[in-house]
Amino acid sequence: MHTSRRDGDGIGGLLDGSATFEELRQKAIDLRREGLSRRQIRDQLKVGNNDLLNRLLEGEPPPEWTKRPNAKDHLRLKARELRAGGMTYDEIRAELGVSKSSISAWVRDPPKPAPHWTRVERMQRMHDGMVEFRRLQDVAREQLTREAKSEIGDVSDRDLMMAGVALYWAEGQKDKPYARRECISFINSDPNVIRLFVRWLEMLGVGRDRLRCTLNIHSTADVEEATRFWAELVGIPSGDFRKPGIKQDNPGTHRMNRGAEYHGCLTVYVKHSAELYRRVEGWWYGIVVGASRAA
């Protein structure tokens, strides 16, 4: 049998000499338009080469019945309807429960719907949403704090003893081999921490007459008002306070600790407290050893 290259496309050698490429292509197209599948066309035309079959059917769409059904076709159509109705990607995702990337692929060609709100309105909605989000956070935080507070209940002297020792060893002045400081000296800016510390000292038998207080505060704050605040909290006259330590503000520094709630830091020093300091140190290491045994 003699093969021909009359099609001029380099594949004529695969065709029978009785038909040109164009004639065979026309037959393939006619069969395709009649609704035949690729396999049926290949069998009728006796074409065993897929490359040749692709050339014969080039540009001819397959009949509908040969297309595999897509399980997401109904979702795609629904997504396009929702998009045409003005819904955003996030709204469509919430409605259909599909990924945002799928939605983007399905609806990218229709025109983008006109925005529901102006830029100013969008910014206001974002602001209002954030305010509400933070409000709910505060409500949840306060609720958790109240629940945790109720779990503590009454505080015994031993509870206060342990808390005071741990608090002092975390925040108080400590003796070092290179700097002998065997005395009780404690500084903090939190009024509740100072209140607990003074109550702890009171439980240990330390009277107010042994306390010496020093205010440490920025120059831009109200020194007199801060002194009155701490004097009332600790329970000693403001006239008995030592000279305050004033820190000059750096003009280029933006400080957050400003306003009516800022009272600086208070240093509470206990006179004649070397022996008490040594006992605190021992108590602390007793807690450490006890905790290690419990583990």
**CB 87 within 8 Å of CB 96:** no
pLDDT tens readout for residues 214-231: 999 998 888 999 999 999
Same-domain check for residues 165 and 233? yes
Residues 112 and 193 in one domain: no
pLDDT per residue over 81-140, tens digit each?
Answer: 888 888 888 888 888 888 888 888 888 776 666 677 788 888 898 899 999 999 999 999
Asked if residue 212 is part of any domain, the answer here is yes
User: Which pLDDT belongs to residue 225?
Assistant: 94
**Same-domain pairing of 172 and 239:** yes
Is the pLDDT score of 177 beyond 70?
Answer: yes
* CATH number for position 94: 1.10.10
Same domain, 62 and 113: no
Contact 266, 187 (CB under 8 A): yes
What digits encode the pLDDT tens for the residues 12-68? 444 555 568 888 888 888 888 888 888 888 888 888 788 888 888 888 887 766 665
Number of domains into which the chain is organized: 3
Residue 50, domain extent: 12-66
- Clarify whether residues 18 and 74 are in a common domain: no
My answer on whether 205 and 105 are in the same domain is no
Per DSSP, the residues of 119-181 read HHHHHHHHHHHHHHHHHHHHHHHHHHHHHHHHHH----HHHHHHHHHHHHHHHB---BTTB--
pTM, to two decimals: 0.57
